[in-house]
Amino acid sequence: MPSLNLQPATVSDYRTLAERRVPRGLFDYLDGGAGEEVSLRQNATDFENLRLRQRVLRDVSKVDTSTSLFGAPLKMPLILAPVGMAGMMARRAEVQAKRAADKAGIPFCLSTVGICPTEEVAAVSNMPFWFQLYMLKDRGIVKEMLDHVWAQGIRTLVFTVDLAVMGARYRDVRNGLTGGLTGWKRLRAGPVDYAMHPRWLYDVALRGRPHHFGNIARYVKTGGSVVDFQQWLGGQFDASVTWKDIAWLRTIWSGTLVLKGILDPEDARETVKVGADGMIVSNHGGRQLDGVSSGIAMLPRIADAVGSETTLLVDGGVRNGQDVVKALANGAKAALIGRPWVYAVAGAGQAGGERVLSPLPHEIANALGGTGVPPAGEGGGRAIDSN
């Protein structure tokens, strides 16, 4: 565990800072996964087990980490993933993350269940950002939300498709957060735990209000606490969603549509068939169904199936620039990080968010140069050692 006197250098360091500064129940909600957390651990382990293919005497004098994604330029092939409840880990965390993403020249994706609303995030700058949404039982609300985010200038929609049922998260059970989002009122982060985290108490609990889901506030007619919002949302999750509903979504959203939570080649083919512009190969950060494969493990199979027909992204376990290059080499156009940016912002604010991103271009360039593949957009299989 690094000393507080040392400058954090890795995602692991920022995780340590976040663990010290965020109440236990909230930290476990961010940090934990489903079941025994096998898939959660495997996400990172599968990246670690991939080996880069070192090549020499190739002209890498002009290594380029930039790329383009859905017609937009990126300084590196990375996106800040949507993370629910992020604004409970740090004061208005989504706003701080957007500023950090803007500085890094990459997109930020706002979660439906983020604390900050689209208007607050849009006010940061005129740089575009993405929005993530679930299919709700009330399709009228879905359409109204899409109209609203379109009016905010958002043109890329990330639609999460792997939340038909809530994952069994044992850490949440131990903390009293049973029943998923609707069980928030039973969270056992009591006075002693809060007292042990005075920085969080002052900066987030007191200065970070309001503590509700800003993007669904207009639809919750009673109450106003985070519990009221979570109960409303828990009643809106729709376990009956099928590909027909995604086809309907495609008819009402004229912007870029990316499905998040694809982990099987057959589902990848359906994603292409339904008209989505891309997909995120993902097991929801190991938070939904334990014992499934990681995104990076399934990415090559999905790339073989549909890689020439669509844009592939991947998340889960990405911790450094080498992991990003490994994702590119397995068929992704870019990778997403979720927990890392929240750890950093929770541990050190916007400056932490900027610092956790700042070494990545160098790390990506180093890996591209060492594998003899100068442009980030041409990672291909050449960068991975098949032995």
What does the pLDDT look like over 228-271, one tens digit per residue? 777 777 788 888 999 999 999 999 999 999 999 999 999 999 99
Q: Where are the alpha helices (DSSP H) in 50-138?
A: 93-104, 118-122
- The amino acid occupying position 59 is D
Rounded to whole angstroms, the Cα distance separating 39 from 346 reads 24
Q: Whose CA is closest to 166, among 181, 155, 186?
A: 181
Q: For residue 375, what pLDDT is reported?
A: 79
Question: Any catalytic annotation for residue 212?
Answer: no
Average pLDDT over residues 28-41: 96
Query: Using 50, 70 and 90 to split pLDDT, how confident is the model at 379?
Result: low
Pairing label, strands 311-315, 130-133: unpaired
Query: Using 50, 70 and 90 to split pLDDT, how confident is the model at 374?
Result: confident
* Residue 40 CB-density burial (10 A; 0-12 exposed, 13-18 middle, 19+ buried): buried
Model pTM?
0.94
236 or 127, higher pLDDT? 127
Judged by average pLDDT, the poorest of 118-122, 143-147, 165-169, 345-349 is 165-169
Query: Using 50, 70 and 90 to split pLDDT, how confident is the model at 185?
Result: very low
Dihedral pair phi/psi, residue 382, rounded to 5°: -65, -25
Dump the DSSP string for 112-124: TT-SS-HHHHHTT
Rounded to whole angstroms, the Cα distance separating 362 from 341 reads 18
Indicate if the pLDDT at residue 182 is higher than 50. Answer: no
Choose the catalytic residue: 148, 197, 211, 284. 284
Q: For residue 186, what pLDDT is reported?
A: 45
CA angle, 238 then 244 then 249, to 5°: 75
383 or 284, higher pLDDT? 284
Query: Using 50, 70 and 90 to split pLDDT, how confident is the model at 386?
Result: low
Query: Using 50, 70 and 90 to split pLDDT, how confident is the model at 180?
Result: very low
- Before 210, cis peptide (omega within 30)? yes
Q: For residue 234, what pLDDT is reported?
A: 74
3-class DSSP state of 74: strand
Q: Whose CA is closest to 174, among 351, 29, 331?
A: 29
Q: Give residue-wise pLDDT tens across range 199-236.
A: 999 999 999 999 889 999 888 877 566 667 777 777 88
Taking all residues of the chain, what is their mean pLDDT, rounded to a whole number? Answer: 91
223 or 186, higher pLDDT? 223
335 or 226, higher pLDDT? 335
3-class DSSP state of 311: strand
